[in-house]
Amino acid sequence: MNAAPHPLRERAITILADLVGFPSVSLQPNDGIVSYIEGWLGDHGISCWRDAHEDGERFNLLARIGPQEGPGAESGILLSGHLDVVPADAAGWEDDPWRLRREGGRLYGRGAVDMKGFLAMALAQAPEFQAHAGSLTEPLYLAFTFDEEIGCFGAERMPEFLASCGAKPRIAIIGEPTEMAPISGHKGGMELVTHIRGAAGHASKPAEGVNAIFAAARLITFIEQLAHECAGAPHDGSPFDPPHSTLSVGTIRGGEARNIIPDSCSLDWEIRAHPGEDPHLLRRKVEDFVATDILPALRATHPDCEVVTEMLCDVPPLEAREISSAADLVARLWTNQAPGVVSFGTDGSYFQAAGLDTIVIGPGGMAQMHQPDEYITEDAIDEGLQFLGRLLDEMSGRAG
Ligand SMILES: [Zn+2]
């Protein structure tokens, strides 16, 4: 783009610099960034609701602009973004990951693209929406969630939170970076960890111990077989790449020394279910194998042996719908490109579960997510601002 900078570009970049300055890594208390956003919105006459996690340290935030009563109030369009970011190991970065660095048309910092950039654009545009609050045909909602990166734990609370605020938006736009291409569906994500307890002993006397790593190896082989079975049964006409559910083992930990029979081993694994498939069915197959095969073998000599699987998160898939007012809205505002699908999860599943027609679209590239020297371009900031400006025109009846 060679167009003149968007008039709100500098405002958005200033906000982005402030947001990047909060190291809001998942699971950490987030009162700092939440208070900052409340402050900015409050200074512009926009009120917010907080939703506190049971620990009292992590919050979702919801803001509303526009009609509070009348027919339009029972509707609305919601923009959503997550407040948390993945960790940043400073060693891989050219500079401090928690200080926004502007260089050559790029803005570097942890969360710059995933997804504080979108938050900054929404916050930069919020006063413009507020200035036209009287002419909005329905409310604009801004939703900020915690702990998306580790399982969408904030968004999981959203259906209830929205209801408790009397918010009834009909459309959700999740501003994850898609280079402004609409995404209407994604796979689910289930993350699991399995702990195997065997019995220690000297490696020279295998009959005296129970080797937890051997047991883990058999379990891993079983999970791999399941993954092959899924690959062998692709969904006809699926838009996903690959067109089937996937399973993977990501880490394995166990053992102390070569000559000691390891008494414990843990593995992290995951199931990404293709929409229309139940990940719990796959999970149960693994658990049945543990119950009928692995455990009896372990306990034959040591009855104390144990295999425990914890489910760390279970994000449902986002189901692409053929008729979608969210997709129609994006087509009117931005692009006629048919909505696509991605194989990673977003908060969108929970907004869909709450009855909102949901679409994922946002500025910036997926390739920059979760990387050292993560960045968003100034052009992408302009694009996002322009998109939101068109949304304002549409909602205030100034479009066309
Ligand atoms: Zn994200």
Segments making up each domain of the chain, as ranges: 9-186+318-395, 189-315
Which residue has 């400006």 as its token pair?
389
Percent of the chain surpassing pLDDT 90 = 87
99-102 long-range CB contacts below 8 Å, 24 or more apart?
99/17, 99/20, 99/21, 100/13, 100/16, 100/17, 100/20, 100/21, 102/13
Nearest Cα to Cα of residue 120 among 89, 156, 79: 79
Gap from CA of 79 to ligand 1 centroid (Å)? 14
Task: Please tell me the distance from the alpha carbon of residue 64 to that of residue 26, in angstroms, as a whole number.
Answer: 25
Task: Determine how β-strand 189-197 pairs with β-strand 306-315.
Answer: antiparallel
Distance 224 CA to ligand 1 centre (A): 28
User: What is the predicted pLDDT for the residue at 368?
Assistant: 86
Task: Look at residue 392 and tell me whether its pLDDT is greater than 60.
Answer: yes
The single residue of 38, 148, 149, 314 carrying the catalytic annotation is 148
Which pLDDT band, with edges at 50, 70 and 90, does 90 fall under?
confident
Q: Where are the alpha helices (DSSP H) in the chain?
A: 9-20, 31-43, 117-131, 158-164, 212-231, 279-289, 295-299, 325-333, 348-353, 378-395
The bridge status of strand 375-377 relative to strand 77-82 is unpaired
- Report residue 345's pLDDT band, with 50, 70 and 90 as the boundaries: confident
The predicted model gives 274-278 an average pLDDT of 88
Determine whether 84 is an active site residue: yes
Q: What's the CA-to-centroid distance between 176 and ligand 1, angstroms?
A: 5
The CA distance from 58 to 60, in Å, is 7
Q: Does the annotation mark 278 as catalytic?
A: no
Fold (CATH) for 9-186+318-395: Aminopeptidase (3.40.630)
> How would you label 357-368 residue by residue, b for 16+ Cβ within 10 Å and e otherwise?
bbbbbbbbebeb
pLDDT band per the 50, 70, 90 thresholds, residue 44: very high
Distance 146 CA to ligand 1 centre (A): 11
pLDDT tens across 207-253, in order?
A: 999 999 999 999 999 999 999 999 999 999 888 889 999 999 999 99
d(CA 321, CA 307): 40
At which residue do the structure tokens 């914890």 appear?
310
Point out which residues pair with 143 in neighbouring strands: 62, 80
- pLDDT mean over 144-156: 95
Q: Which CATH number fits domain 189-315: 3.30.70.360, 3.10.20.30, 3.20.20.140, 3.40.50.2020?
A: 3.30.70.360
Mean pLDDT of 107-133: 98
Checking if the pLDDT of 281 tops 70, the result is yes
pLDDT at 2 over 70: no
Could you say which DSSP state residue 7 is in?
T
Bridge partner list, 228: none
Average pLDDT over all residues of the chain: 95
Note whether 263 and 209 are within 8 A (CB): yes
- The confidence score (pLDDT) of residue 369 equals 86
Catalytic residue among 84, 191, 314, 357: 84
Q: Which amino acid is at 220?
A: I
Instruction: Give the Å distances, CA to CA, from 40 to 48, 83, 113, 156, 326.
Output: 11, 15, 21, 26, 28
Distance 202 CA to ligand 1 centre (A): 47
- Interval between CA 310 and ligand 1 midpoint (Å): 24
Q: How far is the CA of 305 from the centre of ligand 1 (A)?
A: 39
Please tell me the predicted confidence (pLDDT) of residue 230: 97
Helical (H) or strand (E) element with 171? strand 171-174
Report d(CA 112, CA 377) in Å as an integer. Answer: 9
Q: Nearest to residue 334, comparing CAs of 391, 287, 290?
A: 391
Dist. CA 347–CA 368, nearest whole Å: 19
- 3 state DSSP class of 85: strand
- Ligand 1 centroid to Cα of residue 276, in Å, is 24
Q: Is the pLDDT of residue 70 over 90?
A: no
Provide the pLDDT for residue 397. 87
